[in-house]
Amino acid sequence: MTRVLPRRDRTLLLEEFDRLWERRVHRDGLRAARAWYRRETLAFATRWPLERFRRTTTTMGEGMMDGIRQLRHTVRGLARVPGFTAVAVATLAIGIGANAVIFGIVDRALLRSLPLPESDRVVQVFEGWFTNLATVEILQGGLTTVTAIGAANDAGGRTLEPADGPARRVTVAEVSPEYFEALGVVPRLGRLFAREESEPGRGGVAVVSAAFWRTALGGTAGALDGELVLDGVSHAIVGVLPEGFDFPSARNDVWVPVVMDASNPGLHWGNGSYSSVARMAPGVTPAQVLGEVMAFEETMRLANPLWTPNPGFWEGARVTPLQEARARWVQGPLTVLLAAVAVVLLVVCANVANLLLSRGLARGRALAVRSALGAGGGRLAREQLMESAVLAMAGLAVGLLLASWSLSLIRPHLPAELPGAAQVGLDPRVVIVTAGIALVTALIAGLLPAVRAARGAPAAALRQSGRGGGASRSRRRTTRVLVAAQMAAAVVLVVSAGLLARSLFALQGVDPGFVTDSRVTARVHLAPGLSGDPAARAVLLDDLAAALSRDPALGGVALASTIPFGSEDEYMATFIPGVTDDPNELPMARHHRVTPSFFEVAGIPLLRGRGLADTDRVGSPLVAVVDETFAETYFPGEDPIGRIVRYPWRGAPDIEVVGVVGSTRHGDLADEREATFWVPLGQMGLGPIGHAVVVAEATGEPSAALGAVTARVRGLDDRMAVSELLRYEERLGASLAGTRLMAVLLLVFAVTALALGCVGVYGVAAFSVREKLREIGVRMAMGASTAGIRKEVLREGLLLAVPGGVLGLILAWPATRLLEGLLFGVARLDPVTFIAVPLILSGAALLAVVVPAHRATRVDPAVVLRGDG
Amino acid sequence: MSRGGLGELEHQTMLALLHLRDDAYTAPIVEELESRTGRDTTVAAVYIVLRRLEEKGWVESELRDPGPEGGRDRRYFAVTEDGIARLRRAREAYAALWDGLEATLGTGKGA
């Protein structure tokens, strides 16, 4: 019995049962009394636990009802001050929205594991290096630490001839069948490649991206019966990859099998343009894979039929988890952005805390009355936190809207190489994290006001608000500290944005070494069937140049295999007799094949000797023009004219240097100039690249010129696809896209932080003026000038901004270290930025106090002193 | 089981408390109920009702020396003013409902 009795009255009840037992025995006899006792025990055993359950659930329910009541109360309270609520919610929304955007990007690029099965087992072998197929083939046969190792090259353009409509360019990656195996990807439809499909003479199959399948193939299962004609070669479509599959790049439309042809050592060993990916066996570490790979170094060195690399040529090789390898280059910029939004959020917290404090003060009287009537400090603090939580949730809702809108703006500008760029969005994961951020924001912003509410001295508040003004000294101090902190954070961001903006300007000011004004460019994919016939190709190129030259919309016209800031590069290891004989030390030079008019059309100056001529054709002596950098690097202090260069393969003929032209930048304005040599297109042909690039001067509108290029190409042969119709400026601009995006985002964050900081300064100044109305009134009555009063308010505003500004400059010193890798032509501690920012800050702060200062001078002493002010 | 509702056993228990005056602790309350209603009731049921009435503020309890009887402290219950008001309201409600039903149901005593 004892155990079933309620704890509170256990002994009391036992005693009562004793009495009742005696009476029962006396009245009804022992048997009946026992039955009674059993009944009572059972009753307590069953009914009391039920009762206890009812009591707890009622309490919980009441707690919930209480919460809902309080919530309703809070919402109603906020609705009564729409101005305050709107400002607070907008502020929070900006901070929360910015964080949602950047977190969404960072999550996809850095945090989320790759969308592959057991993705932690997928590694990049030789991270940061490209390798040849021979290496991959030998590793395939030898590695025991991996279950599959495959190769893929970077996406390249091919001409697709659809059954209907004009030819167009598609982006094609060549991958070995084991590449898909290593990734573990499962096709959405159909199959991937069988191992034997990379054998010479096989192939003829292709898989396509889900996006290509939907847009170009109708998105039906019937697509699997179709074929793709790429550069004149038919490929059966065997599979569709899953949505968003972006290996090796998000740009790919089509994947075809590589050809593993050991009988062609020039390609097998000489084409080092592949990256290799492996799937580690369960329980294996990247270090173990690396160890095993390195054991093949000597084998590989001696097996190379083209040349013998130096011992230790794999020194520094790395095996890295694929996710890490893909994200490495974006880590720096993303860290900067993440830090920047975190700073914005802190500014937002400080700002909202300040708003809440002012509101707390405005409500001071009401709170004080309630406090005096016995509302506990805890309850008032809870109310305050509830209020900031409600504001944060509203801020979350608006912030997410803001974020989704900003993401739709930003997404097209995200670099294609950013892992997961296409999928960046507000998925549940991002929303949940953002909600968490919002809650933390509510807590941080609401904490100070809550503590203050809990500690509030009712008597003082009643007295003060009775007089209609006068915050406590400590509150004023808190507010000032918060404003200073905001200003400091804003300064750090403004400095960072300033440095990046200056980098951008510096980059835009870099002379690329050629003229881009009214120059247009386009890629022309030659008609299929010409790849095996250099003579026919040469005729076609001549016809193309002639056709384009005839168009009145085009001035000078030139053709090239590759151009500076084009989408493809060609490098050539170059023998320079008398400079180096060691095949391992061959200089790599940029290599362009161009028509003679190229230098004139692109405005590249001829410095010495002659340029290329129409007479430099197949059959005439081989010639090249080198750029200034090439000449200075390999023929320092000598005359390069008449010197010989040679391609690296055995029996390659001599090429005579006949001229020197000015150096150009090639793909990145921030890069150093690279040694370059130019050879005649008519003599060397297009080489492995199956398309020509047109560069032409527009005589009128660039768009008309681009239209003319398309029309003339189609007029010549409508099986030729034209792509990348771009003004040359656009190509240069595109190379700055990453830097520009970073600068714009940081600038937006900086301006936001600064604006919020100024709101803070304004708030404090306005409050201070209101507080001192009587004092100002008295002084004006005593004859103080309005100019003097105005100056004083302005000075006070500035003084408010200065400590924060100084602190910000001090903090910016170490903070800009994060930016170091992103800057160009500007020092991390750039004096111009570090001097300009305090000036901007002072200007902004002055602007913020203009209104309060003006209001101060409008004080009517009579009104104020009567006490109605 | 709403806050203002008065259950039958609650109603009866409060009336029993009033009858018992100063001697209202659990055992006599149970006996009082049994003797007045002629119905068996368990200590558990009465105890739970008392706790509920306490929660509602219609009954209060205190630990007291049992006086000349001797023994340990007992928990004595008493109806509060709120409780009495509640009983009055209940009686008025019943009276109003009973009004005019004497002919149908008899007077209710010794019928």
The bridge status of strand A519-525 relative to strand A168-175 is unpaired
> Which tokens belong to A857?
């001078």
Q: Is residue B108 part of a domain?
A: no
Q: Which residue has the tokens 């149970």?
A: B30
DSSP at A122: E
Q: Which two tokens stand for residue A273?
A: 């343009």
pLDDT at residue A199 greater than cutoff 60:
yes
A19 touches chain B (CB under 8 A): yes
Report the range of poorest mean pLDDT among A213-227, A524-538, A710-724, A816-830. A524-538
Burial classification of residue B105, based on how many CB atoms lie within 10 Å of its CB (0-12 exposed, 13-18 middle, 19 or more buried): exposed
Provide the token pair at B83.
């409780």
Q: Which of A1, A19, A50 to mutate to test the interface with B (most CBs of B within 10 A)?
A: A19
Q: What CATH number should be reported for the domain holding residue B61?
A: 1.10.10.10
Residue A524's DSSP bridge partners are A692, A722
User: Distance between CA A317 and CA A294 in Å, rounded?
Assistant: 8
Predicted pLDDT of residue A368: 65
Whether B109 is covered by a domain: the verdict is no
Task: Report if residue B107 sits inside a domain.
Answer: no
Whether B87 is in a domain gets the answer yes
CB-defined contacts A:B, below 8 A: 51
Angstrom distance (rounded) from CA A339 to CA B26: 68
How many structural domains is chain B composed of? Answer: 1
Mean pLDDT of chain A: 86
DSSP letter (8 states) at residue A718: T
Cβ pair A15:B75 closer than 8 A:
no
Interface touch B30/A19, C-beta < 8 Å:
no
Residue B3 placed within a domain:
no
User: Mean of the pLDDT values across residues A613-631?
Assistant: 92
The per-residue pLDDT for A531 is 55
Which pair of structure tokens corresponds to residue A474? 């400590």
State how far residue B10 is from chain A, nearest Cα, in angstroms. Answer: 15
Bridge partners, residue B78, by sequence: B60
Q: Are strands A676-680 and A623-627 parallel, antiparallel or unpaired?
A: antiparallel
**What are the backbone dihedrals phi and psi of residue A179, each rounded to the nearest 5 degrees, phi first?**
-60, -50
Model pLDDT, residue A310: 81
Partner-chain contact A16 B44, CB within 8 Å: no
**A39 — contact with chain B (CB < 8 Å)?**
yes
Highest mean pLDDT of the ranges A128-132, A421-425, A796-800? A128-132
Q: What proportions of chain B, in percent to the nearest 5, are helix, strand and coil?
A: 60, 10, 30
Find the closest chain B residue to A5 by CA distance: B44
Bridge partners (DSSP) listed for residue A732:
none
The CA distance from A8 to the nearest CA of chain B, in Å, is: 11
CB A111 within 8 A of CB A119: no
- The pLDDT score that the predictor gives to residue A363 is 66
Residue B110: per-residue pLDDT: 43
Among A20, A23, A47, the residue with its CB nearest the CB of B48 is A47
Q: How far apart are CA B16 and CA B13, in angstroms?
A: 5
CA-based torsion, A679, A680, A686, A691: positive or negative: positive
* pLDDT reported for residue B107: 62
Token pair for A578 = 């008398």
Q: What confidence tens digit (pLDDT) does each residue in A12-32 have?
A: 888 888 888 888 898 888 898
* C-alpha–C-alpha distance, residues A807 and A812, integer Å: 9
How far apart, in Å, do the first and last CA atoms of chain A sit? 75
Strands B59-64 and B74-79 come out as antiparallel
Give the residue among A359, A357, A441, A350 at the shortest CA–CA distance from A392. A441
The SS3 assignment for A557 reads strand
Average pLDDT over residues A514-520: 93
* DSSP state, residue A439: H
Is residue B2 one of the residues assigned to a domain? no
Task: Answer yes or no: are the C-beta atoms of A216 and A209 closer than 8 Å.
Answer: no
**Closest alpha carbon within chain B to A18:** B27
Q: Is residue B1 part of a domain?
A: no
Q: What is the mean pLDDT of residues A205-234?
A: 89
Contact A707/A553 with Cβ under 8 angstroms?
Answer: yes
A6–chain B Cβ distance below 8 A for any pair: yes
- The pLDDT-based confidence of A433 (bands split at 50, 70, 90) is very high
How many Å apart are CA A692 and CA A526, to the nearest integer? 7
Token representation of residue B14: 């409060």
Q: Inter-chain contact B26–A11, Cβ cutoff 8 Å?
A: no
Note the pLDDT of residue B111. Answer: 37
CA dihedral (A509, A510, A513, A518) positive or negative: negative
Does residue A749 sit at the B interface (CB-CB below 8 Å)?
no
Containing domain of residue B38, as a range?
A: 8-101
Contact (CB<8Å) B43/A6: no
Looking at beta carbons, which residues of chain B come within 8 Å of A39?
Answer: 42
Are residues A491 and A643 in contact, defined by beta-carbon separation less than 8 angstroms?
A: no
Is the pLDDT score of A459 beyond 50? no
Assess if residue B55 is contained within a domain.
Answer: yes
> Closest Cα to residue A694, out of A719, A720, A667?
A720
Taking the alpha carbons of A43, A45, A46, A48 in that order, is the dihedral positive or negative? Answer: positive
- DSSP letter at B109? S
Report whether pLDDT(A464) > 60.
no
Going from the C-alpha of A772 to that of each of A179, A358, A474, A710, the distances in angstroms are 75, 16, 17, 73
Task: Write out the residues of chain B at the interface with chain A, using a CB-CB cutoff of 8 A.
Answer: 1, 25-27, 30-31, 42-45, 47-48, 51, 55, 63, 71-75
Q: What is the pLDDT of residue A800?
A: 78
Report the range of poorest mean pLDDT among A311-320, A470-479, A520-529, A618-627: A470-479
pLDDT higher than 70, residue A282: yes
> If DSSP codes are grouped into helix, strand and coil, which group holds residue A829?
coil
Q: Mean pLDDT, chain B, as a whole number?
A: 83
Distance (Å) from the alpha carbon of A30 to chain B's nearest alpha carbon: 18
> Is residue A394 a contact partner of residue A89, using CB atoms and an 8 Å limit?
yes
Task: Give which of A50, A621, A745 is closest to B51, Cα–Cα.
Answer: A50
| Contacts of B89 by beta carbon, 8 Å cutoff, 6+ apart | none
Element (H, E) at A573: strand A571-573
Of the spans A85-89, A353-357, A383-387, which averages the highest pLDDT?
A: A85-89
Place of tokens 């801020």: A395
Q: Enter the ipTM.
A: 0.84
CA distance B47 to B27: 10
Structure confidence by residue, pLDDT tens digits, A438-447:
988 888 888 8
Residue A228 vs residue A847, higher pLDDT: A228
Half-sphere exposure of A820 (CA within 13 A, CB side): 5
Whether the pLDDT of residue A815 is over 50: the answer is yes
DSSP conformation class of A655? E
Closest CA to A336 of A496, A491, A97: A496
Q: Which residue does chain B place closest to A59, by CA atoms? A: B55
For residues A344 and A27, give the distance between their C-alpha atoms in angstroms, rounded to a whole number: 83
The residue behind tokens 């982006």 is A171
- Chain A nearest CA to B42, separation (Å): 6
Contact status of A9 with chain B (Cβ, < 8 Å):
yes
Task: Name the residue of chain A whose CA is nearest to B49's CA.
Answer: A51
**A18 shares contact with chain B (CB less than 8 Å):** no
Q: Residue A869 CB: number of other CB atoms within 10 A? A: 17
Residue A803 CB burial class (10 angstroms; 0-12, 13-18, ≥19): middle
Does A13 touch chain B if contact means CB atoms closer than 8 Å?
Answer: yes
Percentage of chain A exceeding pLDDT 90? 36
Cβ atoms of A562 and A693 closer than 8 Å? yes
Secondary structure (3-state) at A650? coil
Question: Would you call A31 helix, strand, or coil by DSSP?
Answer: helix
Q: What is the mean pLDDT of residues A154-174?
A: 81
| DSSP line for A294-350 | HTTHHHHHHH-SS--PPTTTTTT--EEEHHHHHHHHHHHHHHHHHHHHHHHHHHHHH
Question: Contact A54/B1, CB-based, under 8 Å?
Answer: yes
Least confident of A568-572, A657-661, A812-816: A568-572
Asked if B43 and A44 come within 8 Å (Cβ–Cβ), the reply is yes
Q: Do A830 and A502 meet the contact criterion of CB atoms below 8 Å apart?
A: yes
Residues 6+ apart with CB under 8 A from A180: A150, A192, A193
A47/B contact by beta carbon, under 8 A: yes
Chain A nearest-CA distance from B27, in A, is 6
Mean pLDDT calculated for residue range A598-621: 93
User: Quick one: pLDDT at residue A564?
Assistant: 93
Average pLDDT over residues A727-749: 89
Q: Which two tokens stand for residue A247?
A: 């290996």
State what percent of residues in chain A have pLDDT above 70: 94
CB-based contact B34:B40 (threshold 8 Å): yes
Closest to A818 (Cα-Cα) out of A869, A746, A728, A753: A746
- Which one of B42, B47, B73 has the shortest CB-CB distance to A39? B42
Q: Is A20 on the interface with B (CB under 8 A)?
A: yes
Q: Rounded to whole angstroms, how far apart are CA atoms A652 and A575?
A: 10
